[in-house]
A and B are shown apart, each in its own frame.
Chain A
Amino acid sequence: MIVKVDGLKKKYKKDWVLKGIDIEVEEPQIIALVGPNGSGKTTLMNCMTNLLTYDQGEVELLGQKNSDTKIFKDVSYLQDNRILYGTLTAYDHLKFICDVQGLPKSKIEEVAKRVGMESYLKKRVQNFSLGMKQHLLLAMVIINDPKVLLMDEPLTGLDPTSAIDMRNILLELREEGTTVIVSSHNLDEIDRLTNKIYFLKDGALLKESLEQFATKEYYLTVDDLEKAKGVLEEAAVPFLIYNQEQVTFEETDVELQTVIDHLNKQGVAILDIENERVGAEKRYRELFEGDASV
């Protein structure tokens, strides 16, 4: 078993933050952990890595108890950037990891190239932007080619290009046999990363495969937007106008072909059709609609 969390419970003051979490991962995959702020995502990861005490339950990573620090030879945990030391350079951080992991120094250049941080490798962390710190954190957790990678909000502070790079690295890691458990608020990115999504709601885990919720959102570019609006309103098709230039609708509301037929019949030319999978966000809205923190 790669990851085994059995009946994990944690109380904070009088409230149960985690109410008996069970996770079993047998094959390398990417699992997304999703929930509103304060739902316990970070707490769960901190308990799994034995950073926090918990009241009940057991955690095994790669068949070993999480109290054994040797597991961190093959388990990495990307945490928030407060773990970095401002007065040291990125190189110092990576060298430290190499030293304690028994890795050759050549891994530093290698991983810096992989995450695109060669240009500021020798600079002090106190001068880093949020995105640069995220790059360093990523480099620190993948330098040892871990078998299990826990990531807490890895996309925080990343610009779109870096977010895409991060996503590609995670997909590569999955291909290389790494199990990734990632928490994120970026539901679009989660949609692109995995189908396996665990929602954390009121201290309990709802494990779901997005396949059953996945839906496509279509974006049609037409030659006459006003005319298209009139046609679809008349045909009682639920739609929205996106960015003042596209007609958008979900496939669960109406089939693409029906919309095309309505528009074509009235002489509206369709210039382009784009679509996006929106399973995570859709399911998230269903589960957490009305929650103050959503």
Chain B
Amino acid sequence: MKLLVFEFKKMFFSKKFLVLLAFLVALVVLLFFRNVILEDYVLDEKQSNYSYLVEVSEMNNRTYTRQLEQDLEEGTEEYEEIEMRQEMNLDLLNTADELHNLVGTDEWQQQLNVEISFMEQVRDYRMAEGEYPITEEEIHHTLALNQQLLAQGIPKEIENYSHAPPNFLLQVVNLWVTLGALVVVLLLIGDLMTSEFESRSINLLFTQPFNRAHIIVSKFVSSLVIYLIVLVAVLLTALGVSYLFGTEGNFQYPVIIEVDGVLRALTSVDYVVQAVGLMSLMVVFMISLYLLYSLLFKQTIMTLFALLGTLLLGYILTATFSMDALAWFNPFKYVLPEQAILTQENERWYDAIPVTLIVSVVLLFIASTKIKTSKVD
């Protein structure tokens, strides 16, 4: 405990931690105001997108008209198919035009309903072998999301440009779990132990009357606490700035996930808890692995190289050889935890939690044993 306080003080008062904390808080605030500033631009973009879809439909319509008038003979099967597609395309054109006109209005329920109709029309049109620049995945996702929003009476927010607290928090958490936390942790703990060997300050710790294993435990706990401080600061900043300057939101806002090929909805709170939880678990694993590597290499660059190499290799193997049976034994699936939550194909987001914890404890145990005989040469 006494060593823990000393280790924590060393980290907390380091220029690196304070600068990084200030930088992250500033970054979150800037991100929020970027969303506010770009709101009109994004709405314009959305309108332009619908305009583009209208143009696509108009172009398709001209093609169909030409085909019907010049290339095909009336009464043939092909003629009837093209005629049917033209009708469907005209419906799409009208709905896209309606959506274009609804952008930026307060008629959010109507927007959702029209968008549902539009996506259903696109789906039907594609089934009738019509070509349209919207993917199947986009159709399914939009349908699922809009139906959930209607059912719960929540207006739709623009993804990644919202300034409602729940949605801005989602955006920040997504950035955090998509490499953000990994980079922050690497910056925070990158030289946690190796700098002690490089500067020889480890000599001070090695010539004190306590079990050297305490060094590992205290470094682990203090770096975890520092990580949590940064995490809480980032999340509170996101919530604080969006509450102060943002619009009203709903924490039941749905996040669409895919479980065994079926689209389901999570509330934004559940998603945030799961994503942040898994990322934090990954951080526990990373710190444990770092501490062991730092005792093996005693050099910052080598240690970071080995750590990043292990994480990268683990993740690539996980992504390349997706073996359902191994889901329970693979901590590397949480390198990018967002994926583990959003797509759960024959595996669940929580499958690898026990193994990640166990492996972390084992790594810490090996590091604690190793440091007892560790020397500075």
Which segment of B175-183, B206-214, B231-239, B309-317 sits at the interface? B206-214
- B214 CB to closest chain A CB (Å) equals 9
Tell yes or no: A242 within 8 A of B by CB.
no
Tell me if B209 and A87 are in contact (CB < 8 A): no
Tell me how far the C-beta of B171 lies from the nearest C-beta in chain A, rounded to whole angstroms: 34
Give the contacting residue for B207; candidates A51, A53, A92, A99; CB below 8 A.
A51
Q: Which residues of A contact B9 (CB under 8 A)?
A: 88, 92
Residues of A within 8 A of B206 (CB): 49-51, 69
CB neighbours of A46 from chain B (8 A): 203, 376-377
Q: Which residues of A contact B376 (CB under 8 A)?
A: 46, 51-52
Query: A51 contacts B375, CB within 8 Å?
Result: yes
Q: Which residue of B lies closest to A51 (CB)?
A: B376
Measured in the bound complex, the distance between the Cα atoms of B208 and A52 in whole Å is 15
Is A117 close to B, CB under 8 A?
no
Q: Is A122 an interface residue (CB 8 A)?
A: no
A residues contacting the other copy or chain, number (CB 8 A) = 29
Tell me the chain A residues, 91-140 only, with Cβ under 8 Å from chain B.
92, 96-97, 99-101, 140
Is B14 in contact with A79, judged by CB distance below 8 angstroms?
no
Say yes or no: B10 contacts A87, CB within 8 Å: yes
Q: Bound complex: CA of A46 vs CA of B377, how far in Å?
A: 10
CB distance from A94 to the nearest CB of B (A): 11
A71 at the interface (CB under 8 A from B): yes
Name the one of A53, A84, A99 contacting B377, with C-beta atoms under 8 angstroms.
A53
- On whether the beta carbons of A79 and B200 are closer than 8 Å, the reply is yes
Contacts of B211 in A (CB 8 A): 69
Chain B residues numbered 90-105 whose CB sits less than 8 Å from any CB in chain A: none
Which residue from B6, B13, B203 sits with its C-beta under 8 Å from A79? B203
Q: In the complex, which of the residues B13, B14, B201, B203 contacts A51, with contact meaning CB atoms closer than 8 Å?
A: B203
In the bound assembly, the distance between CA atoms of A52 and B200 in angstroms comes to: 12
| Contact in complex: B15, A96 (CB < 8 Å) | no
Q: Does A249 contact B (CB under 8 A)?
A: no
Total A-B residue contacts, Cβ distance less than 8 Å: 76
Give CA–CA (A77, B201) in the complex, Å.
13
B209 touches A100 (CB 8 A): yes
Task: Check: B199 CB closer than 8 A to any chain A CB.
Answer: yes
Q: Given A82-B199, A82-B200, A100-B3 in contact, is the A77-B209 Cβ separation under 8 Å? A: no
A227 within 8 A of B: no
- Inter-chain CA distance A87–B210, complex, in Å, is 23
Report the bound CA distance from A86 to B57 in whole Å. 68
Distance between Cα atoms of A83 and B6 in the complex (Å): 14
Per-residue CB proximity of B161-190 to A under 8 Å, as 1/0?
000000000000000000000000000000
B151 is an interface residue with CB less than 8 A from chain A:
no
Q: How far is the CA of A103 from the CA of B207 in the complex (A)?
A: 16
A288 within 8 Å of B (CB atoms)? no
B208 x A69 contact (CB < 8 A):
yes
For residue A285, CB closer than 8 A to chain B, the reply is no
CA distance A75 to B203 in the complex (A): 14
Chain A residues with Cβ below 8 Å from B14 are 87
- Are A72 and B6 neighbours in the complex by a CB distance under 8 Å? no
Using C-beta atoms within 8 Å of the partner chain, give the interface range for chain B. Answer: 20 to 34
- Is B325's CB within 8 Å of the partner chain A? no
Q: Point out the residues of chain B lying under 8 angstroms from A73, CB to CB.
A: 209
* Distance of A150 Cα from B9 Cα, bound (Å): 28
A50 to B208 CA separation, bound complex (whole angstroms): 12
Contacting residues, chain B, for A52 (C-beta < 8 A) = 375-377
Contacts of A51 in B (CB 8 A): 203, 206-207, 375-377
A282 CB-CB contact with B under 8 Å: no
Q: Which of A53, A82, A88, A97 contacts B208 (CB 8 A)?
A: A97
Please, how many angstroms separate the alpha-carbon atoms of A88 and B10 in the complex? 7
Closest to B17 in A: A87
A72:B201 contact, CB within 8 angstroms: no
A232 to B208, CA, bound (A): 59
Given A99-B2, A99-B6, A100-B2, also A49-B207 (CB < 8 A):
yes
Q: Is A80 located at the chain interface by the 8 A CB criterion?
A: yes
Of all chain B residues, which has the CB nearest A12?
B377
CB distance from A232 to the nearest CB of B (A): 52
Establish whether residues A88 and B2, one from each chain, have CB atoms under 8 Å apart when the complex forms.
Answer: no
- Specify which chain B residues have a CB less than 8 angstroms from the CB of A99 in the assembled complex: 2-3, 5-6
Contacts of A92 in B (CB 8 A): 6, 9
Tell whether B204 is near chain A: CB-to-CB under 8 Å.
Answer: yes
**CB pair B204 A83 closer than 8 Å:** yes
Contact B209 A72 (CB under 8 A): yes
Q: Is the CB of A72 within 8 A of B10?
A: no
Q: How far is the CB of B51 from chain A (nearest CB, A)?
A: 57
Q: Which one, A75, A87, A100, contacts B15 given CB within 8 A?
A: A87
Contact of B377 with A88 in the complex, beta carbons under 8 Å = no
- Residues 1 to 54 of chain B near chain A (Cβ within 8 Å): 2-3, 5-6, 9-10, 13-15
Question: Closest residue to A71 on the B side, CB-wise?
Answer: B209
Closest Cβ of chain B to A69, distance in Å, is 6
Whether A83 pairs with B209 at a CB distance below 8 angstroms is no
Contact with B along A60-82 (1 / 0, CB 8 A): 00000000011111011101101
Q: When A and B form their complex, which 9 residue pairs have the shortest distance between CB atoms, in order from nearest?
A: A99-B2, A83-B204, A72-B209, A73-B209, A87-B13, A96-B6, A82-B200, A53-B375, A52-B377
* 11 A-B contact pairs sorted by A residue (CB < 8 Å): A46-B203, A49-B206, A69-B208, A69-B209, A71-B209, A77-B207, A83-B201, A84-B204, A87-B15, A100-B210, A101-B209
Given A52-B376, A53-B375, A99-B2, output 10 extra A-B contacts at Cβ < 8 Å: A69-B212, A72-B207, A72-B209, A79-B203, A83-B199, A84-B204, A85-B10, A87-B14, A88-B10, A101-B209
Taking Cβ atoms with an 8 Å cutoff, the residues of A that contact B are 46, 49-53, 69-73, 75-77, 79-80, 82-85, 87-88, 92, 96-97, 99-101, 140
